[in-house]
Chain A
């Protein structure tokens, strides 16, 4: 008998009757508001809402079936996405302009002007440098800002502060200490080699930077070479010797000065260019070191920034400080 009554209560008709007798609240299901299992003394919406407590296993893929399935679905979907994308790209390739033909769309009046009248307009013999540092200098400025902000983020992550007291940083300090233990003390071969090699690297890097507008190279590559030299010196002689001429303060000053110079110089040239003013910067004779207006200065700025950044990346990664 009771079974029948139960069946009736759960049957649609029974639920309908219950509903319009208002025994049953259609909003219950979607409102997620139920009395908690053990009825708390104080009736309170917060407790009510606690009814939808998602236990602690909800996010655990091993126990939560729905989440595991959705994870699988995501995996399958992403595989499908990859396959479709690669297929589409490769299928599209055959409709692209062919390789190395002079009449491709890319070889249009733009590159002609960069090459044809680049000398007169920028004074740079290296057309690529002339392009990135004069025609499309805003991109390049953005690029150095990318480098800058990446350095900032790495500092945020890896630099440890004496002021900080939480155990994680203590561990990082210990790591720094052990690092000092393991770094090569008197590795004769390494030191002798680097005594010869480091000055060459510095000179070569400076050469690349200074000839950025004349020959292949430029600020970024030269700066990378100098950074490599600094890192080599650090590896072979350790922090004690390095910090005699390169500390965090040096880093700050150099990169700040370089970036500010870059910013101001570029602002000046943008401003004059946009308002069709005469920028009183001599272009000099093409081919000479002191030529092509601001490009030399900008190369030097970029070079110093990049060198400092490389070194900073290395030391931050190695022990979280300069």
Chain B
């Protein structure tokens, strides 16, 4: 029983070890290793979750022989374990959903390197979730960035590489700000571990000295993480990045990578700086404003797209805006809503990307509106999956999107001076979502009469075979979405308890 304490550490190490091994084997073996690893991480995280649920408090785990102020640590509570579980599920389904395209998109002999990247990404995500040390956080943020860059550019056409360099430049700016931020934090507190740093910061706030640097530090860290996760003014790399990577990479990038940074940011807010100090520093208002702008501008951009994948990518600009809007509300409820929407968006976005694969592989690779007409009849599972994802994004009841919108609205009610803006932004953004997503859904369900005669019905010969794993992944993600939508009470309760354990 007490042995379960080791599982998070095992999962991080296992992921890295798999990565190192995968660099020396061929593509198939690397894929199998990766799938096994992700499954193992999934099981371990589930066990960790049950363990933390039994203990009811967050566990501190020494990485080495030395306790808090001296040696590295990881720390896991309910929310960390749940996030690890959730991320590994999404990772597994994304890999399953797109591996058939990994083979075609990547130069022969380099598939195993792609799986190395995925393993490293997994380990860095786990470390960012679990870590209790700022500098470890920085190092793994860098690993995450490099792995993401590799995933973008592993498709060896010019698009991938240009997208990769734009992504790289933007996120290096972000990590530069983050690095100088934690250096300054180390300077004024003298600690890199989160809890001692927090005590030092409370000391600073009480006796006022070094308070100005503290404000600058909060701003630097928030801005750095916002840039890395693609908040609105810094979103320009998102559409190309998500639009041109291989489908697995798109799903993972849009649904996990940016989320990892946001989780780290929330963790720093709660555990290092202290949420009240963050609120009093007014940086949240800026995040709120940019989030609201992103919600609307992202949707407006998405309406103007003709390429299905770029439309989905722009909609995730808007969704990131939702998350920052929730964080910016500066209340517990807002934070819960933000975390829940983070889960929602992870599930829905990967569902959309994966099902989009299923759609355009039956419409000879075209990804624009005209190309996708009638695709839903040629690949029914993908069509249904895409519709479910779109409806969830629109906020269809019983799907996860509805719950998160409800949570945002109720959270906004607690902040009278932000309530109206939030509600209006929610409504505008929802209507815009409805416009572009339902337009796409209608397109994939309607065709020109000529081909309609042959394909408009669920006729056998018209259904192109997509890979089994793709269908499996789509269905599993639909179920995940429904789960979030129907049994949200447990999840929300878990999130709020976990956030209490964060501090």
Residues of chain A whose beta carbon lies under 8 Å from any beta carbon of chain B: 30-33, 42, 44-47, 49-50, 52-54, 74, 77, 88-89, 92, 95-97, 104-110, 113-114, 121, 134-139, 141-143, 145-146, 148-150, 152-153, 155-157, 159, 161, 163-164, 168, 252, 256, 259-260, 263, 267, 269-275, 279
A136 and chain B: residue at smallest CB distance:
B72
- Output the least CB separation between A4 and chain B (Å): 36
User: Of the candidates B114, B133, B188, which one forms a contact with A96 in the assembled complex, judged by CB atoms under 8 Å apart?
Assistant: B188
Q: How far is the CA of A49 from the CA of B6 in the complex (A)?
A: 55
B212 and chain A: residue at smallest CB distance:
A95
A154 and chain B: residue at smallest CB distance:
B150
> Which residues in B have their C-beta under 8 angstroms from that of A148?
19-20, 23
- Contact between A145 and B448, CB atoms less than 8 A apart: no
Q: How far is the CA of A193 from the CA of B315 in the complex (A)?
A: 61
- Given A105-B200, A135-B64, A269-B65, A142-B143 contact (CB < 8 Å): yes
B14 and chain A: residue at smallest CB distance:
A267
> Which of A88, A136, A252: most chain B Cβ within 10 A?
A136
> Which residues in A have their C-beta under 8 angstroms from that of B63?
137-138, 270, 273-274
9 nearest A-B residue pairs (beta carbon): A142-B139, A138-B72, A105-B190, A273-B65, A163-B108, A46-B373, A153-B150, A161-B109, A138-B63
- Given A263-B13, A270-B63, A32-B146 contact (CB < 8 Å): no
User: Of the candidates B23, B135, B139, B191, which one forms a contact with A256 in the assembled complex, judged by CB atoms under 8 Å apart?
Assistant: B23
> Which residues in B have their C-beta under 8 angstroms from that of A121?
65-66
> Which residues in B have their C-beta under 8 angstroms from that of A260?
17, 20-21
- Output the least CB separation between A143 and chain B (Å): 6
Q: How far is the CA of A157 from the CA of B386 in the complex (A)?
A: 33
- Contact between B370 and A149, CB atoms less than 8 A apart: no
- The 28 sampled A-B contact pairs (Cβ below 8 Å) are A32-B435, A42-B449, A44-B447, A45-B373, A45-B442, A47-B448, A49-B306, A49-B443, A104-B190, A105-B190, A134-B64, A136-B64, A136-B135, A138-B136, A139-B133, A146-B139, A146-B142, A149-B19, A152-B120, A153-B150, A156-B113, A156-B150, A161-B109, A259-B20, A270-B13, A271-B6, A273-B62, A273-B64
* B324 at interface, CB cutoff 8 A: no
* B43 at interface, CB cutoff 8 A: no
> Which residues in A have their C-beta under 8 angstroms from that of B108?
161, 163-164
Residues of chain B whose beta carbon lies under 8 Å from any beta carbon of chain A: 5-6, 9, 13, 16-17, 19-21, 23-24, 61-66, 69-72, 107-110, 113-114, 116-117, 120, 123, 127, 133, 135-136, 139-140, 142-143, 146-147, 149-150, 153-154, 156, 161, 180, 184, 186-192, 200, 210, 212-213, 216, 219, 233, 236, 303-304, 306, 369-370, 372-373, 435, 439, 442-443, 446-450
- Contact between A149 and B213, CB atoms less than 8 A apart: no
> Which residues in A have their C-beta under 8 angstroms from that of B233?
74, 77
- Contact between A152 and B113, CB atoms less than 8 A apart: yes
B61 and chain A: residue at smallest CB distance:
A274
- Contact between B70 and A110, CB atoms less than 8 A apart: yes
- Contact between B24 and A256, CB atoms less than 8 A apart: yes
- Output the least CB separation between A7 and chain B (Å): 31
Q: How far is the CA of A163 from the CA of B27 in the complex (A)?
A: 14
- Contact between A45 and B443, CB atoms less than 8 A apart: yes
- Contact between B16 and A263, CB atoms less than 8 A apart: yes
- Output the least CB separation between B189 and chain A (Å): 6
Q: How far is the CA of A70 from the CA of B153 in the complex (A)?
A: 27
Main secondary structure of the interface of B (DSSP, over half): helix
Q: How far is the CA of A267 from the CA of B20 in the complex (A)?
A: 14
- Given A105-B200, A145-B120, A150-B146, A136-B306 contact (CB < 8 Å): no
- Contact between A138 and B113, CB atoms less than 8 A apart: no
Q: How far is the CA of A92 from the CA of B211 in the complex (A)?
A: 10
A274 and chain B: residue at smallest CB distance:
B62
Main secondary structure of the interface of A (DSSP, over half): helix
- Given A136-B71, A163-B109, A263-B306 contact (CB < 8 Å): no
- Contact between B210 and A95, CB atoms less than 8 A apart: yes
User: Of the candidates B136, B147, B212, B448, which one forms a contact with A44 in the assembled complex, judged by CB atoms under 8 Å apart?
Assistant: B448
- Contact between A50 and B370, CB atoms less than 8 A apart: yes
> Which residues in B have their C-beta under 8 angstroms from that of A135?
64, 66, 70-72
- Contact between B72 and A137, CB atoms less than 8 A apart: yes
- Output the least CB separation between A260 and chain B (Å): 6
> Which residues in B have their C-beta under 8 angstroms from that of A150?
146
Q: How far is the CA of A157 from the CA of B369 in the complex (A)?
A: 32
- Contact between A46 and B448, CB atoms less than 8 A apart: yes
Q: How far is the CA of A44 from the CA of B213 in the complex (A)?
A: 61
- Contact between A145 and B16, CB atoms less than 8 A apart: yes
> Which of A47, A52, A105: most chain B Cβ within 10 A?
A105
- Contact between B187 and A96, CB atoms less than 8 A apart: yes
- Contact between B6 and A275, CB atoms less than 8 A apart: yes
> Which residues in A have their C-beta under 8 angstroms from that of B17?
260, 263
Q: How far is the CA of A32 from the CA of B442 in the complex (A)?
A: 14
- Contact between B65 and A46, CB atoms less than 8 A apart: no
A260 and chain B: residue at smallest CB distance:
B20
- Given A97-B188, A107-B190, A139-B139 contact (CB < 8 Å): yes
- Output the least CB separation between A162 and chain B (Å): 8
> Which residues in A have their C-beta under 8 angstroms from that of B306?
49, 52-54
User: Of the candidates B64, B66, B150, B369, which one forms a contact with A152 in the assembled complex, judged by CB atoms under 8 Å apart?
Assistant: B150
- Given A110-B70, A139-B72, A45-B446 contact (CB < 8 Å): yes
A153 and chain B: residue at smallest CB distance:
B150
- Contact between B443 and A153, CB atoms less than 8 A apart: no
B180 and chain A: residue at smallest CB distance:
A89
B13 and chain A: residue at smallest CB distance:
A267
- Output the least CB separation between B18 and chain A (Å): 10
> Which of A138, A156, A252, A259: most chain B Cβ within 10 A?
A138
- Contact between A89 and B139, CB atoms less than 8 A apart: no
> Which residues in B have their C-beta under 8 angstroms from that of A52?
304, 306
- Given A44-B447, A259-B20, A149-B212 contact (CB < 8 Å): no
Q: How far is the CA of A270 from the CA of B184 in the complex (A)?
A: 29
- Contact between B127 and A142, CB atoms less than 8 A apart: yes
- Give 7 A-B pairs besides A97-B210, A134-B64, A274-B61 with Cβ atoms closer than 8 angstroms: A31-B435, A32-B435, A46-B372, A137-B63, A149-B143, A273-B63, A274-B5
> Which residues in B have their C-beta under 8 angstroms from that of A139?
72, 133, 135-136, 139
Q: How far is the CA of A164 from the CA of B198 in the complex (A)?
A: 54
- Given A52-B304, A110-B69, A136-B135, A149-B439 contact (CB < 8 Å): no
- Given A150-B146, A152-B117, A256-B23, A32-B64 contact (CB < 8 Å): no
